[in-house]
Amino acid sequence: MQLRKILVFVLLFSDIFPASSQDIKFLIAKGNQLYSAGNYEEAINTWEELTESVYEAAPVYYNLGNAYFKSNKIAPAILNFERAKLLAPHDKDINYNLELARTYVVDKIDELPEVFYLIWYKNIVQLFSSNTWAILALIALVVFLILFSIYLYAKGYSVKKTMFWLSALFLFIWLGAFAFSCSGRKLITDHNKAIVFSPSVTVKSSPDESGTGLFVIHEGTKVTVVDELNEWTEIILTSGTKGWLLSSSIEKI
C-alpha cells in the first residue's frame, strides 16, 4: 500500500507522467460534478475507477461513502468511511458520517472495553501518518549521530556529559518514532477488519453448512477476521463472540 501511495504522489506532482496526473484529476473533478448534480451512481463508478487503480486518498473514500449513503447502500457507505478513517483517523467529518451510517445498522453490539494503555498508544500513533513518523524518526537518527559524534570527540567533561544525554534522548525519540511509524503502517495495511455485505448472515460453529447456527448478523456490521479456510472465514465481533461465515458475505476494509 505504501508503494502505491508513493506512486500516486509521483503521478500527481511530477511532470514525468502528466497524462496520468491529468487523468486522476479529471476523474476526481468528474466525480465531484456528478455528485453535486445528484448522479450518485455515476459518481460512484467514477471514484471506484480511482480506488481500483493506484489512487488511495481519504477524500475519495469519504466521497464514495457519501455517494453510497445517498444511494441507500449502507454497507458500502460504512466500508468506504472506514477506509477513509484509516487514512485520516482524526477527520471530524469522516467520523461523524461514519457514526451516522452506523445508526442504520440493525445489529447493536456492545464493545469489550479496550485496555487504557492500548488506547493511549493508538492515539499517539494516529497523531501523525506513518510516513510523518518515519520522517521524524530519520531526523531524530541524524541528530543522534551528530550529537554522539560530538560526544566521542569532545574533550571537556561537561560537554561530553551534555552530548551523551542529548544523544540518548534523540536515540529514544528515534526508537519511539520508528515504532509509531511501523504501528501506523500496520493499522492501514493489516486488513483484518471487514464489513458484512449480505442482508443477514447466520454465523456457524464450524466452517461448513452443517455447522450449528450460533447467531445472525446483518448488513453493515463490522467484524474482525480471525482465520480463513477455503470459502469460509472465522470472525469475531466487538463483543468477543466468534464463529464462521461465508467469505463472500463480507468485504475487507
**pLDDT 10s digits, 81-109:** 999 998 888 899 999 999 999 999 998 88
**Tens-digit pLDDT profile for residues 55-64:** 788 999 999 9
Scan for cell 500500500, then name that residue.
1
Average pLDDT on 59-73 reads: 95
> What is the pTM assigned to this prediction?
0.74
Amino acid at 177: A
Scan for cell 550529537, then name that residue.
147
Sequence-ordered list of residues with C-beta below 8 angstroms from that of 83, at least 6 positions apart, any chain: 61, 253
CA distance 167 to 153: 14
Answer whether 69's CB lies under 8 Å from 91's CB: no
Sequence-ordered list of residues with C-beta below 8 angstroms from that of 188, at least 6 positions apart, any chain: 1, 86, 87, 130
Q: Mean pLDDT across the chain, nearest whole number?
A: 87
Q: In sequence order, what are the beta bridge partners of 223? A: 194
